[in-house]
Chain A
Amino acid sequence: MTTTLTDRYVWTVTRHLPADTGPDVARELRGTIDETVEGRIAAGQDPQTAERETLQDLGDPDVLAREYGGQPGYLISPALYPEYVRLLKLLLVIVLPLALVGVLLARVTTGDQTWIDLVIEALLTVLSVGVHIAFWTTLTFAIIDRTRPESQRDRPLTRWNPDQLPTESPTRRVGLGATIGEVALSLALAALVAWQFGGVGERSAQILNPDLELGWQLAIVGLFGLDAVIAIAAWVMGRWTPALAAVTVAANVGAVILLLWLLAEGRLLADLAAVNDRLGWAVDQSAVTAVIGGAVVIVAVWESIEALIKARRGHRGRLAG
Chain B
Amino acid sequence: MSYVDEDRGAGHVQELRRGTVVLACLVTLSEPNYGYGLLETLSEAGFSVDGNTLYPLLRRLEKQGLLTSEWNTDESRPRKFYRVSPAGAAMVDTLMTEWTTLDTAIRALGERTTQ
Contacts and interface: CB of A to CB of B under 8 A. Distances in A.
22 contacts: A24-B80, A25-B59, A27-B80, A28-B35, A29-B55, A31-B34, A31-B78, A31-B79, A32-B35, A32-B36, A32-B55, A35-B36, A39-B36, A57-B50, A57-B51, A57-B52, A58-B52, A59-B52, A67-B53, A67-B56, A68-B59, A70-B60
Interface of A: 21, 24-25, 27-29, 31-32, 34-36, 39, 57-59, 63-64, 67-68, 70
B107 interface: no
A34 B34 CA distance: 13
A28 B55 contact: yes
A167 to B, nearest CB: 38
Contacts of B52: 57-59, 63-64, 67
Select the residue from A28, A35, A63 with max chain B CB neighbours within 10 A. A28
**Interface SS majority for chain A:** helix
B80 A28 contact: yes
Interface of B: 34-36, 50-53, 55-56, 59-60, 77-80
Given A35-B36, A36-B36, A68-B56, A58 B77 contact: no
A34 B77 contact: yes
Given A32-B35, A57-B52, 13 more contacts: A27-B78, A27-B80, A28-B55, A28-B80, A31-B34, A31-B77, A31-B78, A31-B80, A32-B55, A36-B36, A67-B53, A68-B56, A68-B59
